[in-house]
Amino acid sequence: MTAPNPNTKTTTRADNARTVRRLLLVVVGMFAFGFALVPLYEVFCDITGFNGRTKNEQAAANQRSIDTSRTINVQFITRINQGMPWEFKPEVRSVRVHPGETKVVQFYAKNLTDHDMVAQAVPSVAPGQAGLYLNKTECFCFNQQPLAAGSETLMPMQFYLDPDIPKHIHTLTLSYTMYDMTAHTQPDVVASLEARPTAE
Amino acid sequence: MSTAAGEMTHHDHHHHAPSGLTRWFFTTNHKEIGSLYLWFSFIMFLVGGSMAMVIRAELFQPGLQLVEPHFFNQMTTVHGLVMVFGAVMPAFVGLANWMIPLMIGAPDMALPRMNNWSFWILPFAFMILLGSLFMEGGGPAFGWTFYAPLSTSYSPDSTALFVFSIHIMGISSIMGAINVIVTVMNMRAPGMTYMKMPMFVWTWLITAFLLIAVMPVLACAATMVLTDKYFGTSFFDAAGGGDPVLFQHIFWFFGHPEVYIMILPSFGIVSAIIPAFSRKKLFGYSSMVYATGAIAGLSFLVWAHHMFTTGMPVGAEIFFMYATMLISIPTGVKVFNWVATMWRGAISFETPMLFAIAFVVLFTIGGFSGLMLAMTPADFQYHDSYFVVAHFHYVLVSGAVFSIMAAAYYWLPKWTGHMYDETLGRWHFWCSLISVNVLFFPMHFVGLAGMPRRIPDYALQFADINKIVSYGAFAFGLSQLIFLWVVIKCARGGERAPMKPWEGAEGLEWTIPSPAPLHTFETPPEVK
């Protein structure tokens, strides 16, 4: 029996069915929303630079002015994900750059195991806001990196800082974590990647 | 309010009740399902409680005494899961099943067959969860919050079982919530307008909306953990482009409304009991309704206060800090209203009232430590310490669990037709009150001094306080056996309960005989 007007049993049943349908829609909608949070989170972090996200794609090497009045200290940190038997380090720990100026930094990696491996470096920038102004025109982190057993390689990373970078940023830290992707890569992909010449 | 007097005359004919076990398997009666829920939740309370006893026995002395660290982790994890999803939530659903139709003058819940399902899938969920403890590699050991990558890269092989049990619990909760909403919206007796509904019905209606909004999000988080672990996706795996912090966002988007799911029905219970034993009307009924709505709405905007130490930008930390503190305003309105209800009332202190008053005081202490945790800079010290453990046990044990005890004592005469043993009830109350504070209050101090949670060992300087805490824990655990004794004694006999055993109680549930007959309000009562 509904509250506003005492109804017959059949209309109550119809009311109930309608309410249930609506509530089930909410449930399905919230389930979809839960998964939609994944792309929403990506977009949100990309736009705001929260969470130290960097633009992990090739930036255009366009014409730009170099702001020689400012110098920013860019530091490099490298980490190996737990249990990965590689050596991975930057050639220099930090460089001083003017906003707009292009720099190349080499990263050294060595596979200490006796089997071929594929790795992926994932970047993160602190402070998070600075990530929006770090543009990479070339980076080993754009692709997976294969390395044959026991071999070593130098991997280049070319970048410039957007001249619009906020005035209060004097130092920024770029961190790379190297992950073992061998298990996630198909064997034939490993083979074809290895066929490519690696940077020496 | 008055009721149709005729409903008594036809309550036990033409009812082909199956007997024995099948009666309970196939029942669609809201009172029987309510009882099933309540018994189930009490069993789970004892199961989760014995895990807490293992934890406190291990922490009785510094050093590793009784259990392996990995088993200790399983105990903290499964204790949390069992208490949240097995004890507190089913107890509230059981109370809703029993009382909501009686309070709004409906003959039963709107969807009785679904009601049967939503209960009977629960035991299977917990069989799966508890069964996983006995598997090779053990059960879930990553905390009830199952943060990635603990629950993905580093979790035991039984994680799939954990995920499926979470799914089943979620489906059960969603079905229960839909049932409550449909019942409240469509089945109210003539004249029972929304603003005449008892507070318990209101708080449960709002809780049910929270449930259908966030349980699907929990299912998402669990599903993503499942596919990350077993099917090679990278939702939370940085190597594949995912982000472990995303897990915490999704989890706490569920998790924070979840903590209100576990406390709003308590507010409803206390709002029924305090007026009854103060012999006054509830002070500020409509402000109670709006405060409940405000708490529920705000609960969606504060999730990241669980994540202040993940490296959020300062702007976001400030937003979540202030949004969290804002919740103390509607909560304060409620506490004020309860105190104002008691003010100059003719108060008597039967067991339900004792538990309700203890709820108000101790829940408020938990609320205050919550405010301390809400302050971002302070939270960096408190985070993941025993201070947090003390905080949420104050709101969940001396808050939610005490309110469930109060509700049980308050409505036991209606359920069983007998008065419970008041002397034993008071023994239960005073033992619980003292031991719960010995158990949880000192945790604040070790927490502030830097003792981390979820670790089976601790620094020597925490030894004395941990010993006291463990004594409190054993005493609190044993005190609950008094409650079991009271309930069994009351179910088996005792002084016959009148239709309305509490002088100041109000509501339709007191217009039917005690014990409540199997079928009530088949002719709807007229509410004026």
Query: Where are chain B's structural domains?
Result: 30-511
Q: Residue A52: its chain B contacts at CB < 8 A?
A: 311
Q: Residue B240: its chain A contacts at CB < 8 A?
A: 120, 181, 184
* B108/B479 Cα distance (integer angstroms): 35
- The sign one gets for the Cα dihedral B141, B144, B149, B153 is positive
Q: Residue A38: its chain B contacts at CB < 8 A?
A: 224, 235, 246
Catalytic residue among B118, B172, B435, B470: B172
> CATH no. for residue A187?
2.60.370.10
Q: Which residues pair with A96 in a beta bridge?
A: A73
* B76/B53 Cα distance (integer angstroms): 11
List the end-to-end C-alpha distance of chain A, in Å, as a whole number: 81
Is the Cβ–Cβ distance between A105 and A124 less than 8 Å? Answer: no
Which of B220, B251, B300, B320 is the best residue to mutate to test the A interface, defined by the most A CB atoms within 10 Å of its own CB? B220
Catalytic residue among B30, B188, B334, B444: B334
A11 contacts chain B (CB < 8 A): no
> Got the DSSP string for A53-83?
----SPPP-------TT--EEEEEEEEE-TT
Judgement on whether residues A44 and A79 belong to the same structural domain of the protein: no
Q: Residue B309: its chain A contacts at CB < 8 A?
A: none
Rounded to the nearest angstrom, the minimum Cα separation between B5 and chain A is 18
A178: left (phi over 0), alpha (psi -120 to 50) or beta: beta
The pair of structure tokens assigned to B164 is 């499926």
A115 contacts chain B (CB < 8 A): no
The half-sphere exposure of B377 on its side-chain side, counting CA atoms within 13 A, is 0
The pair of structure tokens assigned to B119 is 């209960």
Rounded to the nearest angstrom, the minimum Cα separation between A63 and chain B is 31
Residue for token digits 């199956």? B18
Judgement on whether residues A39 and A123 belong to the same structural domain of the protein: no
Q: Would A106 be classed as within a structural domain?
A: yes
The pair of structure tokens assigned to B238 is 């940085």
Judgement on whether residues A39 and A86 belong to the same structural domain of the protein: no
Judgement on whether residues A132 and A82 belong to the same structural domain of the protein: yes
A91: left (phi over 0), alpha (psi -120 to 50) or beta: alpha
On the question of pLDDT at A200 being above 50, the answer is no
* A16/B187 Cα distance (integer angstroms): 9
A31·B216 Cβ contact <8 A: yes
C-alpha distance from residue B237 to each of B149, B234, B241, B243, B309 (Å): 7, 5, 7, 6, 20
B230 is catalytic: no
On the question of pLDDT at A169 being above 80, the answer is yes
The pair of structure tokens assigned to B362 is 């101790």
Rounded to the nearest angstrom, the minimum Cα separation between B97 and chain A is 17
Classify A117 as helix, strand or coil.
Answer: strand
Q: At a CB cut-off of 8 Å and minimum separation 6, what does B172 contact?
A: B118, B119, B121, B122, B125
Which of B108, B153, B186 is the best residue to mutate to test the A interface, defined by the most A CB atoms within 10 Å of its own CB? B186
Q: At a CB cut-off of 8 Å and minimum separation 6, what does A17 contact?
A: none
B271 is catalytic: yes
Q: Which residues pair with A106 in a beta bridge?
A: A156
User: Which pLDDT belongs to residue B11?
Assistant: 45
Catalytic residue among B24, B39, B120, B144: B144
Q: Residue B215: its chain A contacts at CB < 8 A?
A: 27, 30
B256 is catalytic: yes
B229 is catalytic: no
Q: For residue A78, give the nearest of A176, A179, A180, A154 by alpha carbon.
A: A176
B192·A52 Cβ contact <8 A: no
Task: List helix spans (H) across B59-158.
Answer: 69-81, 89-104, 112-120, 122-131
B311: left (phi over 0), alpha (psi -120 to 50) or beta: left
On the question of pLDDT at A197 being above 60, the answer is no
Is the Cβ–Cβ distance between B140 and B146 less than 8 Å? Answer: yes
Q: Residue A27: its chain B contacts at CB < 8 A?
A: 174, 178, 212, 215-216
Question: Per the structure, how many domains does chain A have?
Answer: 2
Domain that includes residue A69, residue range: 57-195
* B334/B316 Cα distance (integer angstroms): 28
B232·A34 Cβ contact <8 A: no
B260 is catalytic: yes
Q: Using CA coordinates, name the residue in chain A closest to B170.
A: A27
Judgement on whether residues A123 and A180 belong to the same structural domain of the protein: yes
B311·A51 Cβ contact <8 A: yes
Q: Which residues pair with B503 in a beta bridge?
A: none
- DSSP annotation of A94 reads E
C-alpha distance from residue B381 to each of B310, B315, B369, B464, B520 (Å): 13, 20, 13, 22, 55
The pair of structure tokens assigned to B527 is 């509410």
Judgement on whether residues A76 and A148 belong to the same structural domain of the protein: yes
A23·B181 Cβ contact <8 A: yes
The pair of structure tokens assigned to A94 is 């930090």
List the end-to-end C-alpha distance of chain B, in Å, as a whole number: 6
Q: Would A200 be classed as within a structural domain?
A: no
Q: Which helix (H) or strand (E) holds A159?
A: strand A152-161
Q: At a CB cut-off of 8 Å and minimum separation 6, what does A111 contact?
A: A85, A86, A117, A147, A148, A149, A150, A151, A152
A40 contacts chain B (CB < 8 A): no
Judgement on whether residues A82 and A132 belong to the same structural domain of the protein: yes
On the question of pLDDT at A11 being above 90, the answer is no
Q: For residue B447, give the nearest of B379, B502, B347 by alpha carbon.
A: B379
The pair of structure tokens assigned to B157 is 């092989």
Q: Mean of the pLDDT values across residues A86-90? A: 91
* B266/B355 Cα distance (integer angstroms): 11
Q: For residue A116, give the nearest of A182, A42, A40 by alpha carbon.
A: A182
Q: Which residues pair with A179 in a beta bridge?
A: A120
B174·A81 Cβ contact <8 A: no
Rounded to the nearest angstrom, the minimum Cα separation between A35 and chain B is 6
* A93/A87 Cα distance (integer angstroms): 15
For chain B, the 3-state helix, strand and coil shares in percent, each to the nearest 5, are 70, 0, 30
Displacement of CA B70 from its chain's centroid (Å): 27
The half-sphere exposure of B47 on its side-chain side, counting CA atoms within 13 A, is 24
Rounded to the nearest angstrom, the minimum Cα separation between A11 and chain B is 10
On the question of pLDDT at A189 being above 70, the answer is no
Complex-level ipTM: 0.85
Q: Chain B residues contacting A, CB < 8 Å? A: 106, 110-111, 174, 178, 181-182, 185-193, 212-217, 219-221, 224, 232, 235, 238-241, 243, 245-246, 249-250, 253, 311-313, 316, 524
A44 contacts chain B (CB < 8 A): no
Rounded to the nearest angstrom, the minimum Cα separation between A15 and chain B is 7
* A26/B514 Cα distance (integer angstroms): 39
Catalytic residue among B453, B454, B467, B489: B453
A54 contacts chain B (CB < 8 A): no
Q: Which helix (H) or strand (E) holds B50?
A: helix B30-58
Q: At a CB cut-off of 8 Å and minimum separation 6, what does A24 contact?
A: B178
Is the Cβ–Cβ distance between B222 and B167 less than 8 Å? Answer: yes
C-alpha distance from residue A199 to each of A23, A92, A123, B266 (Å): 58, 18, 20, 66
User: Which pLDDT belongs to residue B22?
Assistant: 87
Which of A33, A38, A40, A118 is the best residue to mutate to test the B interface, defined by the most B CB atoms within 10 Å of its own CB? A38
Rounded to the nearest angstrom, the minimum Cα separation between A12 and chain B is 7
Task: List helix spans (H) across B133-187.
Answer: 159-186
CATH class of B30-511: mainly alpha
User: Which pLDDT belongs to residue A5?
Assistant: 47
* Of B220, B239, B313, Cβ closest to residue A122: B239
* B492/B469 Cα distance (integer angstroms): 36
Q: Using CA coordinates, name the residue in chain B closest to A9.
A: B187
Classify B286 as helix, strand or coil.
Answer: helix
**Beta strands across the sheet bearing A134-139:** A86-90, A102-111, A152-161, A134-139
Hey, how many other C-beta atoms are within 10 angstroms of the C-beta on B474?
Answer: 17
Q: Would A125 be classed as within a structural domain?
A: yes
Judgement on whether residues A15 and A106 belong to the same structural domain of the protein: no
What whole-number percentage of chain A has pLDDT above 90? 26
Judgement on whether residues A63 and A96 belong to the same structural domain of the protein: yes
* B158/B124 Cα distance (integer angstroms): 16
Question: For every one of its 528 residues, what pLDDT tens digit does chain B have, with 9 covering 90 and above?
Answer: 344 444 444 444 455 567 788 889 999 999 999 999 999 999 999 999 999 999 999 999 999 989 999 999 999 999 999 999 999 999 999 999 999 999 999 999 999 999 999 999 999 999 999 999 999 999 999 999 999 999 998 999 999 999 999 999 999 999 999 999 999 999 999 999 999 999 999 999 999 999 999 999 999 999 999 999 999 898 998 777 788 999 999 999 999 999 999 999 999 999 999 999 999 999 999 999 999 999 999 999 999 999 999 888 888 899 999 999 999 999 999 999 999 999 999 999 999 999 999 999 999 999 999 999 999 999 999 999 999 999 999 999 999 999 999 999 999 999 999 999 999 999 999 999 999 999 999 999 999 999 999 999 999 999 999 999 999 999 999 999 999 999 999 999 989 999 999 999 999 999 999 999 999 999 999 887
* B146/B123 Cα distance (integer angstroms): 21
Q: Using CA coordinates, name the residue in chain B closest to A80.
A: B239
A52·B193 Cβ contact <8 A: no
B186·A177 Cβ contact <8 A: no
B453 is catalytic: yes
**Strand pairing class (A72-80; A171-180):** parallel
